[in-house]
Amino acid sequence: MSRSRFSALVIVSMIALLVLSSCSVVLVNEGSRSDSALHLSLRTTADRSVKYVEVNGVQIAYREYGAGEPLLLICGFGATMDNWNATFVSLLAAQYHVFIYDHRGMGYSGDNNATPTITLYADDAVALMHALGYQSMNTYGTSMGSTVSQQLVIDHPDAIRKMILSSATYSIKIPECQTLLHILQSVAANTSYPPGVRDEALANLAWNGSWSGLAGIQKPVMLIVGTNDSLTPDSVSVQIAAQIRGSWLVRFQGIQHSGQSYAPIQYASSVIDFLQTDESPVFAPIAPTAPTDLVAVPGNGRIGLTWNASASDGGSNITGYIVYRGSQPIANLNATTLSYVDSRLMSGTIYTYYVIAVNFVGPSAASASVSSVPLSQNPDALSLLIGLCGAAVVVVALLAVASNRE
């Protein structure tokens, strides 16, 4: 056998591995779900379980199984929803509302001759979520599906709840993925492949990678990979996991590319454990932060105080504010009162104030202090009238006494 013919045979074999390892050729029978599992069977183009929705100008075909929180499965290069592993989908659908679909130009989905890009496939995924009535979903992407998932969470972070990346790479142009790169180049250059498959190859070749965006991902992420993955080696998943803060990394000994096809029970179990783990941090309440922007405004014999509420309640609702004049507390106020008037003050005297917030844990630090001097006390109209009346009574009394003496 000639060297060129041998090379061609190797590439064809690797392409077959890539497509077949992305998923396995079984489908779900929607009407046969039991409480423990779904019975899956091969479907035809006349399959009534296939549904369609308009997404970004094309008809996207999808199926759905199970009930509960949504989980979108994004298949790999050259694969369709007909190729997902039956056991894997069954186990997930027993716990979640699972959606599978065909990328544009693949399987049952339509196409509109738009330039194929990973960004376009990611836009299709989020538009599909919205068309199905969800603003966000959990996602599981394998191989090229993990590439689409990375672009999806970078471009549309609000669309992701939790994300699983199976057999992932942040670029097909790194040394570790040279075998994958050669496969995609071979497919893109060979017109005998279906247009949809060539489009996917071209989209992958044009992709600039996700490395610069990985550190900014703030969603819960799990990477899952086999140690015998020759297309996207497990060392690449280790690099990605190191960039995404708090990410999970699961490596299966001896498993090949897109391992859900080879170890569906183990992969499904890992996915379910990840999705069901509450990763919300648990904090013990602490005292609130200090009130801010305390201002003192002088008045006639009084000083008016205003402040802004504490920026953080410390994880326990603020119950009130305490106003201090010097070192003495002069007012205990409720949590919604952010002002106080200190009255009956001596003009020409300097008064200094600060405020603290209180929650169930205790008091905050003191706010920045402010000082002010009240203005002179000018008598109000009522006091002046009373004073005049009093003076008039005194005058009348004096006149009466003088008159009696005469």
Q: How many CA atoms lie within 13 A of 168 on its CB side?
A: 30
> What is the tens place of the pLDDT at every residue in 271-315?
999 999 987 766 678 999 999 999 999 999 999 999 999 999 988
Q: Of the spans 10-14, 33-37, 284-288, 347-351, which averages the highest pLDDT?
A: 347-351
Which domains does the chain carry?
Answer: 3-276 (3.40.50.1820), 292-372 (2.60.40.10)
Compute the distance between CA of residue 68 and CA of residue 151 in angstroms, rounded to an integer: 26
Cβ neighbour number for residue 61 with a 10 Å cutoff: 22
Residues in the chain, how many? 406
Is residue 56 a contact partner of residue 101, using CB atoms and an 8 Å limit?
Answer: no
Is the model's pLDDT at 38 over the cut of 60? no
Q: Report whether pLDDT(30) > 50.
A: no
pLDDT single digits (tens) 340-393: 999 999 988 999 999 999 998 999 999 999 999 999 765 454 455 555 555 555
C-beta contacts of 316-321 below 8 A and 24+ residues apart: 316/285, 316/286, 316/288, 316/359, 316/360, 316/361, 317/359, 317/360, 318/288, 318/357, 318/358, 318/359, 319/358, 319/359, 319/360, 320/357, 320/358, 321/291, 321/355, 321/356, 321/357, 321/358
For residue 278, the model assigns a pLDDT of 87
Query: pLDDT tens digits, residue range 175-199?
Result: 999 999 999 999 999 999 999 999 9
- Give the global pTM: 0.64
Q: Residue 374 gets which letter from DSSP?
A: P
The pLDDT value given to residue 41 = 39
Q: What is the pLDDT of residues 246-269, one digit of tens each?
A: 999 999 999 999 999 999 999 999
